[in-house]
Amino acid sequence: MKNGFRQSMSWVHTWGGLSVGWILFFVFLTGTLGYFDTEIDRWMKPELPKDTSTMAQSLAVAEARLQQKAEGAERWFINPPTNRDNPNLRIFWQMSGKDGERGVRGNELVDSTTGDALSSRATGGGQTLYQMHYALHYLPTDVAYWIVGICSMFMLLAIVTGVVIHKKIFKDFFTFRPQKGQRSWLDMHNLLSVTALPFHFMITYSGLIFLAFTYMPLIVASSYGTGDDAERKFFDELFAEGNKIERANSPANLASLGAMVAIAEARWGENQVRYLDIDNPGDANARVSIGRQLDSPLRASPELIFDGVSGELLNDKAAATSAPRTVRDTFLGLHEGLFANTVLRWLYFLSSLLGTAMIATGMILWTVKRRPAQLKKANGPDFGHRVVESLNLGTIVGLPIAIAAYFWANRLLPLDIAARSNWEVHVMFLVWFAALIYPLTRNIMRGWVDLLWVAAAAYGFLPIVNALTTDRHLANSLAQGDWLFAGVDLTLLITGTLFAAAALKLQRRLQQTPAAAANSNKNNGDNNNMLAQKISAQSPEAT
Amino acid sequence: MLIAFALAYATCMALSLAMTRHFQQVWPRQKLSPRLATFLRNGGWILLVLTLVYCAKLEGIAVGLVLILGLFSAAAFLLALLLHYAPRVALVLVFAAPLAGLL
């Protein structure tokens, strides 16, 4: 530890950041893609049709299907295709259980024009990718939560210390000076951090709140005791679903759902119904709760509650409940951004990419700072330095390649192999592993060029693979105005182009100064410049 | 929405031009007079308040606050890159963005 407040903060920032940087990069990048989880899901299930039915059609189909699959159930749940989270009609049911046991549950996607269940290829989709950002993979959930939690705490520490050690945070707010080696890396790192600082702080802090019950179990234990039973009791009380009404056990016909939805739409506007939650369908004590679309970070919707037999409106429930619950939900809601419309969603995505690039530039800065001294050593760079450089390359470019491989696997793995969705993920991690090993076998600067080209090809050819394996390719989706499929394909193309531009730029630099490529002791400044150039082109492309 | 972005971008532009370093990125031969600097800085703060009001009107105060932070991240990052790589474009965008929003 050095003397002086700012120096010690700088030490914490540097070493705290480096030690968890690679995991944080993984968490940030997969989390960034999570803002488009449903879109990636849809792209990965090209068999599912685009739902164009009216509300009346989907309600009729859903009710008929539930009647057929789950008559006499304890609960039905209908998600009409009215928002981005539910591009297709989804139904869910839960049968009544015996002696307090939970009954059998089921759910399916339904075609609202034919009324048949929809099926698609076995794929992890965007959900698996998004879940990795807090549950990692191949690890027990609890262990993963602790790893992600500790890394997030380091992140929070890095954000606070970063603000402390940034001497001219306002004066340098808009400053970026490329081609100045280490200076440029620091400028870019600062720019990425400061412009989206509120986002970085919010996302890290709220991420920790998500799993606070895991990190601080003793607070619950002080009132509820320890052990599984106490824990279950706590969660049951915390997330209790209000007063459920008992079954009357005398059959009665369900009133018209369409009429109830009409009342809700008259209050909220068209397509504002997010779900219908039906307790005791077909019983005299049926209740129907209709929930509104999410339009704020509260994570809960206002609900209208109807008598399921008479169809009479009983109650109008506000979204917010208790104050502490509201504070918690607001943080979680801000983190998830489920309320965000298209523009805000892209801004979330962009801010999150800035965060990912902030981590990447921070880690590259660590090596750039030390490279001149390392190259002067008689036996070449230390092993530790070499490892950090390789891990940086294998993660910053390697992980994006691995994610592209996951997309390739979705299209190219045979549809009938066992555990297909697991294999998609295996492919992703095998490719990442290869990308982590590769830099150890090659001159580091050459390694950057090689992997950047691989990434360019991996993303650039994906729309072509899509065109060869499905009929929902770019030409078709643009012609049909299907912006979801077109959007994913175009984003992949742009990502590939940016990787190619970065590769080309770095390659030209290397050709101009062959000595640097040979990793000689001279031209260190140029080495740094090349990387500075690269990141300036690379920042938006970490997808 | 484009107007909200235009406002956020104009705010960033005014605040950055109030600093000599960025003023000379756009007009290398001219000197930033203290009066102009004060004018730009105050104008920037007024634009900031206007952006906030506009976003709150557009989306309500809760979502409006989220929106404005996102817009400023995008606008400030874009401006910093443009000021170095294409200072003329940075300047043109101040006028082009609101026009595009009004059309």
- Give the tens place of pLDDT for each residue, A115-163: 888 988 999 999 999 999 999 999 999 899 999 999 999 999 999 999 9
- Residue A303: closest CA among A314, A320, A286, A317: A317
Same domain? A408 vs A538: yes
Instruction: Read off the tokens for B32.
Output: 């930033």
Residue A460 pLDDT > 70, yes or no? yes
- Radius of gyration for the alpha carbons in chain B, expressed in angstroms and rounded: 14
Model confidence at A309: pLDDT above 50: yes
Beta bridge partners of A107: A92
Average of per-residue pLDDT across A14-28: 95
- A282 part of a folded domain: yes
Given a cut of 50, is residue A300 above it in pLDDT?
A: yes
Residue B15: predicted pLDDT: 95
Q: Considering only CB atoms, which chain A residues are within 8 Å of B60?
A: 295-296
Question: How far is residue A20's CA from residue A23's CA, in Å, rounded to a whole number?
Answer: 6
Model confidence at A519, in pLDDT bands (50, 70, 90)? very low
- Of A320, A349, A364, the domain-final residue: A320
What integer pLDDT is reported at residue A241 of this predicted model? 62
A233-268 pLDDT, tens per residue?
887 777 766 667 788 888 889 999 999 999 999 999
Residue of A319 and A67 predicted with greater confidence: A67
Which of A174-178, A395-399, B14-18 shows the lowest per-residue confidence on average (mean pLDDT)?
A: A174-178
Asked if A416 and A314 sit in the same domain, the reply is no
Q: Do B73 and A175 touch (CB under 8 A)?
A: no
Can you list the positions of beta strands (E) in A256-369?
273-279, 287-292, 303-307, 313-317
Contact state of A174 with B69 under an 8 Å Cβ cutoff: no
Q: Each residue of B1-36: pLDDT tens digit?
A: 889 999 999 999 999 999 999 999 999 998 999 999
pLDDT of amino acid B80? 95
Mean pLDDT along residues A402-412: 96
Domain assignment present for residue A138? The answer is: no
The DSSP symbol for A108 reads E
Q: In the structure, what pLDDT confidence band is assigned to residue A512 with cuts at 50, 70 and 90?
A: confident
Nearest Cβ partner for B70 among A175, A347, A536:
A347
Cα–Cα distance measured from residue A434 to residue A430, given in angstroms and rounded to the nearest whole number: 6
Please indicate, yes or no, if residue A307 is contained in any of the structural domains: yes
pLDDT at A364 over 50: yes
Does residue A257 lie within any of the structural domains? yes
How many Cβ pairs closer than 8 A exist between chain A and B? 68
First to last CA, chain B: 12
Instruction: Check A173 against B16: CB less than 8 A apart.
Output: yes
Mean pLDDT of A340-348: 93
- Region A518-525: mean pLDDT is 39
User: Using the beta-carbon criterion (under 8 Å), do A344 and B76 form an inter-chain contact?
Assistant: no
Give the one of B69, B77, B80 whose C-beta lies nearest to A175's C-beta: B80
Domain with A529, as residue range(s), is 397-543
In this prediction, residue A514 carries a pLDDT of 56
Q: In residues, how long is chain B?
A: 103
Q: Distance (Å, rounded) from C-alpha A125 to C-alpha A36?
A: 11
Mean pLDDT of the A360-378 span:
91
> How far apart are the C-alpha atoms of A14 and A1, rounded to whole Å?
12
Tell me: do A314 and A404 sit in the same domain: no
Q: Among A287, A320, A353, which residue terminates a domain?
A: A320
Pair A412, A527 in one domain? yes
Please tell me the distance from the alpha carbon of residue A73 to that of residue A67, in angstroms, as a whole number. Answer: 9
**How big is the CA angle at A156 (ends A152 and A158), to the nearest 5 degrees?**
110
Residue A441 forms part of a structural domain: yes
Q: Which residues of A touch B21 (CB under 8 A)?
A: 175
pLDDT of residue A320: 67
Residues A316 and A402 in one domain: no
Domain endpoint, select from A320, A343, A360? A320
| Secondary structure (DSSP) of B17-37 | HTSHHHHHHH-TTS---HHHH
B11 and chain A in contact, CB less than 8 A: no
Confidence of residue A517 (pLDDT cuts 50, 70, 90): very low
Residue A107 has pLDDT above 50, yes or no: yes
Type of residue numbered A239: F
Within a domain: A469: yes
Please provide the average confidence, as pLDDT, over all residues in chain A: 88
Query: By CA distance, what is B70's nearest residue in A?
Result: A347
Residues A258 and A401 occupy one common structural domain: no
Domain count, chain A: 2
Residue B96 to residues A128, B90, B103, Cα–Cα distance (Å): 41, 10, 11
Position A409 in a domain:
yes
pLDDT of residue A346: 96
Q: Assess whether A296 and A432 both reside in one domain.
A: no
Residue A386 within a domain:
no
